[in-house]
Amino acid sequence: MTTVLGVVESFDGERGYGLLRADGGPGFFFHCAEIADGSRLIDVGVRASGERRVGLLGHDEVAHVAPLGARR
Protein backbone atom coordinates (compact mmCIF):
# COMPACT_ATOMS: atom_id res chain seq x y z
CA MET A 1 0.00 0.00 0.00
CA THR A 2 1.03 3.58 -0.67
CA THR A 3 0.52 6.46 1.76
CA VAL A 4 -1.72 9.27 0.50
CA LEU A 5 -1.48 12.77 2.01
CA GLY A 6 -4.19 15.31 1.37
CA VAL A 7 -7.28 17.14 2.61
CA VAL A 8 -10.69 15.75 3.49
CA GLU A 9 -12.74 17.31 0.70
CA SER A 10 -16.11 15.95 1.78
CA PHE A 11 -17.59 13.74 4.46
CA ASP A 12 -21.20 12.65 4.96
CA GLY A 13 -21.60 11.41 8.54
CA GLU A 14 -25.11 10.09 7.93
CA ARG A 15 -24.06 7.96 4.97
CA GLY A 16 -20.65 7.18 6.44
CA TYR A 17 -18.33 8.02 3.59
CA GLY A 18 -16.04 10.77 2.39
CA LEU A 19 -13.41 11.85 -0.10
CA LEU A 20 -9.73 12.48 0.64
CA ARG A 21 -8.23 14.74 -2.07
CA ALA A 22 -4.55 13.86 -2.50
CA ASP A 23 -2.09 16.75 -2.66
CA GLY A 24 -1.95 17.70 -6.34
CA GLY A 25 -3.84 14.57 -7.34
CA PRO A 26 -7.07 12.59 -7.41
CA GLY A 27 -9.68 12.08 -4.73
CA PHE A 28 -10.01 8.77 -2.92
CA PHE A 29 -13.19 7.37 -1.36
CA PHE A 30 -13.10 6.23 2.27
CA HIS A 31 -15.67 4.72 4.62
CA CYS A 32 -16.14 5.96 8.18
CA ALA A 33 -15.04 2.56 9.52
CA GLU A 34 -11.59 3.35 8.08
CA ILE A 35 -11.05 6.42 10.28
CA ALA A 36 -8.04 5.40 12.35
CA ASP A 37 -9.12 6.73 15.76
CA GLY A 38 -12.36 4.73 15.69
CA SER A 39 -14.55 7.85 16.05
CA ARG A 40 -16.21 7.30 12.64
CA LEU A 41 -16.17 11.11 12.22
CA ILE A 42 -13.72 13.51 10.56
CA ASP A 43 -13.93 17.21 9.74
CA VAL A 44 -14.01 18.53 6.19
CA GLY A 45 -10.90 20.60 5.45
CA VAL A 46 -8.58 18.75 7.82
CA ARG A 47 -5.27 17.40 6.49
CA ALA A 48 -5.13 13.64 6.70
CA SER A 49 -3.20 10.61 5.57
CA GLY A 50 -4.42 7.22 4.45
CA GLU A 51 -3.21 4.00 2.88
CA ARG A 52 -4.15 3.61 -0.77
CA ARG A 53 -5.65 0.24 -1.65
CA VAL A 54 -7.99 -1.41 -4.14
CA GLY A 55 -11.48 -1.69 -2.67
CA LEU A 56 -14.05 -4.45 -3.00
CA LEU A 57 -15.42 -3.01 -6.25
CA GLY A 58 -11.96 -2.68 -7.80
CA HIS A 59 -11.66 1.10 -7.30
CA ASP A 60 -8.82 2.88 -5.51
CA GLU A 61 -9.74 4.01 -2.01
CA VAL A 62 -7.96 4.88 1.23
CA ALA A 63 -7.91 2.96 4.50
CA HIS A 64 -6.64 3.93 7.97
CA VAL A 65 -7.53 7.62 7.47
CA ALA A 66 -5.76 9.65 10.16
CA PRO A 67 -6.17 13.40 10.73
CA LEU A 68 -2.84 15.25 10.74
CA GLY A 69 -4.11 18.24 12.69
CA ALA A 70 -4.50 21.65 11.06
CA ARG A 71 -7.28 22.57 8.69
CA ARG A 72 -6.17 23.75 5.29
Domains of the chain, CATH where assigned: 2-71 (2.40.50.140)
Per-residue pLDDT, 13 = 92
Q: What is the CA radius of gyration of the chain?
A: 11
Q: Cβ of 34: how many Cβ atoms within 10 Å? A: 22
Q: Which residues make Cβ contacts (< 8 Å) with residue 57, sequence separation at least 6? A: none
Per-residue pLDDT, 71 = 57
Per-residue pLDDT, 25 = 92
* Ranges under pLDDT 50 in the chain: none
Per-residue pLDDT, 70 = 54
Q: Which of 41, 38, 39 is nearest to 16 (CA)?
A: 41
User: Which pTM was predicted?
Assistant: 0.88
Per-residue pLDDT, 44 = 96
